[in-house]
């Protein structure tokens, strides 16, 4: 009667040389597949991490740009307000100085 194995891969010393070579080949292929899968997983992990970092940097840049725009708008508004106040002061000063007295003074 032929001896039946529980595993198709013979261990060292078992089976013919042909079977052992075949088993080593199969084992080698399994290891290569495993390594390839591990490498791919690592690559994808790095890729996802890089993508998250880039997205975070883009968001920060957008926020900074928005803040800069808001600051510029506020500065422009302040400048306009100051100009209006200066105009009002000049107008008021002219009214006070000229005052319709008719002295012929002009400022």
The percentage of the chain sitting over the pLDDT mark of 90, rounded to a whole number, equals 60
Residue 1 lies in a domain: no
- Specify the DSSP class assigned to residue 14: S
Residue 21 lies in a domain: yes
Q: Is the pLDDT of residue 1 over 50?
A: no
Q: Is the pLDDT of residue 22 over 70?
A: yes
Q: What is the pLDDT of residues 53-72, one digit of tens each?
A: 999 999 999 999 999 999 99
Residue 103 lies in a domain: no
Residue 92 lies in a domain: yes
For Cα atoms 6, 7, 13, give the angle at the middle one, nearest 5 degrees. 105
- How many domains would you assign to the chain? 1
Rounded to the nearest integer, the mean pLDDT of the chain is: 84
Q: 40 is in which domain, residue-wise?
A: 11-98
Q: Is the pLDDT of residue 95 over 60?
A: yes
Residue 107 lies in a domain: no
Residue 104 lies in a domain: no
Instruction: Tell me the range of 31-35, 85-89, 101-105 where mean pLDDT is highest.
Output: 31-35
Residue 94 lies in a domain: yes
Q: Is the pLDDT of residue 107 over 80?
A: no
Residue 88 lies in a domain: yes
């Amino acid at each position: 009667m032929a001896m039946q194995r529980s595993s198709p891969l013979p261990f060292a010393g078992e089976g013919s040389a042909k079977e052992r070579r075949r088993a080593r080949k199969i084992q080698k292929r399994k290891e290569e597949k495993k390594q390839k899968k591990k490498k791919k997983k690592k690559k994808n992990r790095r890729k996802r991490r890089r993508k998250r970092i880039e997205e975070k940097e883009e968001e920060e840049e957008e926020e900074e740009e928005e803040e800069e725009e808001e600051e510029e708008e506020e500065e422009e508004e302040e400048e306009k307000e100051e100009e209006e106040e200066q105009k009002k002061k000049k107008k008021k000063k002219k009214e006070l100085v000229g005052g319709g007295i008719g002295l012929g003074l002009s400022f």
